[in-house]
């Protein structure tokens, strides 16, 4: 049961006769930050002052309380300070709720009353290039939303909308035709395809850079001139009088523009250096340089290979059919390691036969029309046109997404579609959703579940030192290796180590992969976050390791007490409290339902991650305060505390499972 929601409902009933729209005030009932003020606090009396002429906030609080019926669950409400309403749940009511959980597999999380069919579009890498760290967030956030929605009783379809029809295939086809190493391809096809992709990319970039670098140099010269001119202007102008306000403002203005010019210059220089480095990698390598010279038009020719593939060219289609399953196998290996599954993997190629119809239909419905040779959807209020067919006849990312929507609604019959995609695509999704609604898909709830970037310590997108993207496989390998060291050190520091080698390996897997996932999930998805190995895997602090460890410790306590968990639950023993830390832990356990509900309001898994961290923390405090296995405590207290350990462990395991993180029995 979501207790907060229940209380809010009671407030709604109390507020209904008092205000026209109680909703915003109902939302001001929250969990109290400080247990001294009770369990919940309502702050709605203060903002209501403006609606009640002449009444003080305390008067209004009293009025609300007089309408409020919570006597079954709370002690009499208290009005504090300027008009806060403090609520404390009755101990016997709390105990009744928590004792119900002993036999509740769902740990108090109800199933939704009106299940929806939700399509979750997540991961969606462009295949044929190895997966990199940028693919992590969508996969991890999407997977946890998938699990949570399903657990709450929705019908969920996880769809991996892979990019399997894009320009990267033209590059690989070109590479395969000209540069393939038969032997390497036979041994490791995906490795060889990745090499070909990188090679073609590098050569195309090289030719582009030989044109771009002189332009950059010229840009820098011009910038220097501008800076020089501005400096001269400053030095030649007579200093403004202190009383001359416009003069002073003008001086400031010109200093500011000088500063801006200098920052731009520094960016230009950085870009030039990076470009030169890239170019020199080819320039200084006689073999690469010779290849580059032999393929001056590689970029154009690769694009032509893509166009030929799209036009149905036999040879290219065959190559694509040969490459794709290999690429999918490689992807699958990563998903297997991460423990991420999909119900469907309908890539962009799946929708290709449907695209012509989409365009015809949109033109017929007068949503799209020709503009400068292309066909674009024009949506009222949007300046940017949404291009659905380019001048050369090619369909776009947008066309595919529109066809995908039609399929997901008309064939899959979905009510909600979540797109777990990088925030940088928000403009695309805004236009997509508006076009789809105008097209007739009004009843569908479209959501761009966007997220920020993973940054390195330098606060720039996380890259290797040489500026390459970080491969996901090697990231996972490294995380598991680091986790192994932590597990080894921890176990070796014990008087008598407890874990054998295979157990250590399993734990390192769970900690390594759990650590990567949790570091991502604990942040509000909108924010960028800095990737930091030490912080991510630490045994203490806000990490998966800490939560996994709390759970393993609970298992250890119960084992040490020779307690069979199933029998304990069926023994008829109940939870009671003697210490405040016990009550706090119980209250925390009872908050799981509300944490899960909160995630689904705006699809933010960090609210569950944060909840689990707090739960592990409250458990630690309880355990420091309350002996569980001591023979100095009464039998009923011991049983109660063992039950509390068991419940906490179950909450942690369920919560970790909903985030896609493996618990460990021992650590
Ligand atoms: N493949 C795309 C990319 O890597 C993401 C696709 C997201 N899903 C969608 N329906 N557009 O940018």
Tens of pLDDT along 25-53? 999 999 998 888 899 999 999 999 988 88
How far is ligand 1, taken at its centre, from the CA of residue 79, in Å? 52
Is pLDDT of 595 > 80? yes
For residue 163, the ligand 1 atom closest to its alpha carbon is 1
Angle between helices 501-521 and 544-560 (to 10 degrees): 140
Tens of pLDDT along 321-333? 999 999 999 899 9
How far is ligand 1, taken at its centre, from the CA of residue 161, in Å? 6
Residues 6+ apart with CB under 8 A from 200: 171, 172, 174, 175, 179, 298, 302
Give me the pLDDT at residue 247, please. Answer: 85
Is pLDDT of 233 > 80? yes
How far is ligand 1, taken at its centre, from the CA of residue 421, in Å? 7
Give me the pLDDT at residue 140, please. Answer: 98
Give me the pLDDT at residue 379, please. Answer: 84
pTM over 0.85: yes
Is pLDDT of 400 > 80? yes
Tens of pLDDT along 156-201? 999 999 999 988 999 999 999 999 999 999 999 988 998 999 999 9
Of 235-239, 479-483, 627-631, 644-648, least confident by mean pLDDT is 235-239
Give me the pLDDT at residue 240, please. Answer: 79
Q: Taking residues 556-573, what's their average pLDDT?
A: 95
Q: Which of 124, 130, 136 to mutate to test the pocket of ligand 1 (most atoms within 8 A of CB)?
A: 124
Q: Taking residues 113-123, what's their average pLDDT?
A: 97
Give me the pLDDT at residue 52, please. Answer: 86
How far is ligand 1, taken at its centre, from the CA of residue 408, in Å? 15
- How far is C-alpha 310 from the geometric centre of its chain's CA atoms? 33
Q: Which of 421, 424, 430, 432 to mutate to test the pocket of ligand 1 (most atoms within 8 A of CB)?
A: 421
Rounded to an integer, what distance in angstroms lies between the CA atom of residue 62 and that of residue 66?
A: 6
Q: Taking residues 533-545, what's their average pLDDT?
A: 93
Q: Taking residues 80-100, what's their average pLDDT?
A: 96
How far is ligand 1, taken at its centre, from the CA of residue 296, in Å? 31
20: confidence class by pLDDT, cuts 50, 70, 90: very high
Which tokens sit at 383? 């300046």
Is pLDDT of 657 > 80? yes
Is pLDDT of 640 > 90? yes
Q: Which of 425, 435, 449 to mutate to test the pocket of ligand 1 (most atoms within 8 A of CB)?
A: 425
Residue 353: CB atoms within 10 Å? 9
For residue 135, the ligand 1 atom closest to its alpha carbon is 4
592: confidence class by pLDDT, cuts 50, 70, 90: very high
Tens of pLDDT along 402-429? 999 999 999 999 999 999 999 999 999 9
Q: Which of 128, 163, 397 to mutate to test the pocket of ligand 1 (most atoms within 8 A of CB)?
A: 163
How far is ligand 1, taken at its centre, from the CA of residue 348, in Å? 9
Is pLDDT of 85 > 80? yes
How far is ligand 1, taken at its centre, from the CA of residue 345, in Å? 12
How far is ligand 1, taken at its centre, from the CA of residue 450, in Å? 12
* Largest interatomic CA distance in the chain: 92
How far is ligand 1, taken at its centre, from the CA of residue 162, in Å? 7
Residue 472 CB-density burial (10 A; 0-12 exposed, 13-18 middle, 19+ buried): buried
Give me the pLDDT at residue 467, please. Answer: 72
Is pLDDT of 383 > 90? no
Tens of pLDDT along 430-470? 999 999 999 999 999 999 999 999 999 888 888 877 677 88
Is pLDDT of 102 > 80? yes
Q: Which of 121, 129, 161 to mutate to test the pocket of ligand 1 (most atoms within 8 A of CB)?
A: 161
Nearest to 665 by CA among 488, 501, 506: 506
Q: Taking residues 80-104, what's their average pLDDT?
A: 96
319: confidence class by pLDDT, cuts 50, 70, 90: very high
131: confidence class by pLDDT, cuts 50, 70, 90: confident
Give me the pLDDT at residue 361, please. Answer: 97
Integer CA distances (angstroms), 224 to 227, 233, 276, in order? 5, 14, 19
For residue 121, the ligand 1 atom closest to its alpha carbon is 8
For residue 428, the ligand 1 atom closest to its alpha carbon is 11
How far is ligand 1, taken at its centre, from the CA of residue 124, in Å? 5
Helices (H), 571-634: 580-590, 592-602, 606-625
- Which protein residues touch ligand 1 with a CB less than 6 Å away? 121, 124-126, 161, 163, 401, 404, 419, 421
Which tokens sit at 132? 């990199």
Three-state SS at 485: helix
634: confidence class by pLDDT, cuts 50, 70, 90: very high
For residue 166, the ligand 1 atom closest to its alpha carbon is 1
Nearest to 9 by CA among 32, 27, 36: 27
For residue 162, the ligand 1 atom closest to its alpha carbon is 1
For residue 422, the ligand 1 atom closest to its alpha carbon is 12
Tens of pLDDT along 342-374? 999 999 999 999 999 999 999 999 999 999 999
Is pLDDT of 67 > 80? yes
């Amino acid at each position: 049961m979501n207790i907060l929601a229940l209380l809010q409902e009671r407030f709604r009933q109390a507020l209904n006769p008092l205000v026209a729209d109680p909703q915003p005030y109902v939302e001001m009932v929250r969990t109290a930050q400080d247990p001294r003020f009770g369990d919940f606090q309502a702050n709605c009396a203060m903002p209501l002052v403006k609606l009640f002429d002449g009444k003080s906030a305390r008067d209004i609080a009293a009025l609300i309380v007089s309408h409020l019926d919570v006597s079954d669950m709370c002690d009499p409400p208290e009005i504090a300070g300027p008009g806060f309403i403090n609520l404390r749940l009755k101990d016997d009511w709390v105990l009744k709720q928590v004792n119900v959980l002993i036999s509740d597999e769902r740990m108090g999380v109800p199933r939704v009353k009106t299940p929806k069919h939700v399509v979750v579009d997540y991961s969606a890498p462009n295949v044929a290039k190895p997966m990199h760290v940028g693919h992590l967030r969508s996969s991890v956030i999407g997977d946890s939303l998938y699990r949570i929605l399903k657990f709450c009783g929705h019908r969920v379809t996880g769809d991996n909308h892979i990019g399997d029809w894009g320009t990267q295939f033209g590059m690989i086809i070109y590479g395969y035709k000209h540069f393939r190493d038969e032997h390497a391809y036979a041994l490791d096809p995906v490795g060889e395809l990745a090499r070909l992709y990188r090679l073609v990319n590098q050569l195309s970039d090289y030719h582009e850079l030989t044109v771009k670098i002189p332009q950059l140099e010229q840009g820098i010269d011009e910038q220097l001139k501008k800076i020089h001119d501005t400096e001269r202007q400053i030095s030649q102008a007579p200093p403004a009088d202190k009383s001359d306000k416009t003069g002073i403002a003008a001086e400031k203005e010109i200093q500011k523009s000088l500063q801006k010019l200098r920052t731009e210059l520094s960016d230009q220089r950085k870009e030039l250096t990076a470009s030169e480095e890239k170019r020199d990698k080819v320039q200084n390598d006689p073999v690469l340089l010779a290849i580059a010279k032999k393929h001056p038009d590689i970029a154009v020719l690769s694009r032509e290979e893509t166009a030929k593939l799209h036009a149905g060219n036999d040879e290219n289609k065959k190559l694509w059919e040969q490459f794709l399953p290999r690429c999918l196998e490689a992807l699958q290996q990563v998903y297997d390691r991460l423990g991420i599954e999909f119900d469907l993997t309908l890539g962009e190629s799946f929708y290709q036969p449907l695209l012509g119809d989409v365009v015809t239909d949109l033109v017929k419905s007068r949503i799209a029309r020709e503009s400068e040779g292309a066909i674009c959807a024009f949506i009222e209020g949007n300046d940017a046109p949404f291009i659905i067919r380019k001048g050369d006849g090619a369909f776009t990312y947008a066309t595919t997404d529109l066809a995908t929507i039609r399929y997901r609604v008309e064939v899959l019959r979905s009510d909600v579609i979540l797109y777990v995609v990088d925030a940088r695509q928000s403009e695309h999704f805004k236009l997509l959703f508006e076009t789809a609604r105008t097209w007739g898909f009004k009843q569908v709830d479209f959501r761009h579940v966007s997220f920020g970037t993973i940054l390195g310590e330098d606060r720039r997108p996380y890259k290797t030192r040489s500026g390459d993207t970080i491969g996901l496989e090697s990231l996972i390998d490294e995380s598991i290796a680091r986790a192994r060291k932590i597990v080894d050190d921890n176990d070796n520091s014990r008087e008598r180590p407890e874990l054998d080698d295979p157990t250590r390996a399993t734990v390192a897997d769970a900690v390594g992969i759990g650590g990567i996932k949790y570091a991502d999930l604990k942040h509000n998805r909108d924010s960028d976050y800095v990737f930091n190995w030490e912080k991510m895997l630490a045994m203490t602090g806000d990490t998966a390791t800490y939560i996994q460890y709390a759970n393993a410790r609970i298992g250890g306590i119960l084992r040490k007490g020779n307690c069979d968990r199933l029998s304990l639950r069926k023994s008829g023993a109940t939870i009671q409290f003697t210490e405040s830390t016990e009550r706090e832990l119980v209250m925390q356990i009872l908050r799981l339902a509300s944490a899960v509900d909160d995630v689904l309001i705006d699809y933010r898994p960090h609210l569950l991650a944060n909840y689990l961290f707090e739960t592990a923390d409250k458990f630690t405090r309880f355990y420091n305060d309350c002996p569980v296995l001591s023979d100095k405590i009464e039998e009923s207290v011991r049983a109660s505390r063992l039950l509390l350990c068991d419940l906490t462990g179950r909450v942690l395991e369920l919560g970790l499972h909903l985030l896609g993180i493996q618990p460990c029995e021992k650590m």
